[in-house]
Chains A and B, each alone.
Chain A
């Protein structure tokens, strides 16, 4: 079955710097790659997603890139702010199939 690996597990950046989180997946049939942000004790919230027919997607300070050949995708956050501090999860799935989550990255943005 699908296996999703995520790195790094923790990431500390200074406010205003960029943050990059990387994920790799094992099943070449996966075609949907969402990123979720989870604040302490709260539900995960979708922040951006990408499908396999697209190589890059951007939404204001957040962007996701996908390399299907290498089977990896990355989340890029620019101009980080303290409110970006949270745990970020990547995930992969095939169409309407179950989402398989990465292990999570705890991002801390210091003022």
Chain B
């Protein structure tokens, strides 16, 4: 099946700094990628839809200035958590879909802000 690679898998950063997470589709082109956030023992909450070559579409309640999304190519989308705070600590995971078929998820990134 298709492979989506997410990097880094774990990151610890200091409060106030920014962290960039990369999501790559390794063997297919993804015009659309999705970013989710998952708290412990909770579901995947969609944060935003990343569209190649255009602005991301954010879900209600997600701060677009805090969670910057860039989808500059058909195989790469990045999520930057700006001015991170402890409450931003979470498991962030991306996915990409082969048009009309299943979504393939990255490995996820566990962010800890200290």
Q: Which residues of A contact B (CB under 8 A)?
A: 32, 34, 41-46, 49, 89, 95-96, 98-104, 106
Question: Contact between B46 and A43 (Cβ–Cβ < 8 Å)?
Answer: no
Q: Are B44 and A44 neighbours in the complex by a CB distance under 8 Å?
A: yes
CB atoms of A104 and B102 under 8 A apart: no
Contact call A104/B42, Cβ cutoff below 8 A: yes
Closest residue on chain B to residue A90 by CB atoms:
B43
Known: A89-B43, A96-B32, A101-B43. A46 touches B100 (CB 8 A): no
B106 interface neighbour in A34, A43, A95, Cβ under 8 Å: A43
For the A-B complex, the count of residue pairs with Cβ-Cβ distances under 8 Å equals 44
Closest Cβ of chain B to A10, distance in Å, is 10
Interface residues on B, range: 20 to 34
Contact of A95 among B95, B100, B108 (CB under 8 A): B100
Q: Give the residues in chain B near A45, CB-CB below 8 Å.
A: 105
Our pick among A49, A95, A96, A104 for the contact of B43 (Cβ within 8 Å) is A104
Report how far A43 CA is from B6 CA in the complex, Å: 10
**Residues of the A chain whose Cβ atoms lie less than 8 Å from the Cβ of B108:** 41-43
Q: A104-B42, A104-B43 are in contact. Are A98 and B107 (CB under 8 A)?
A: no
Within the assembled complex, what's the spacing in Å between the Cα atoms of A46 and B98? 13
Give the chain B neighbours of A106 by CB distance below 8 A. 41
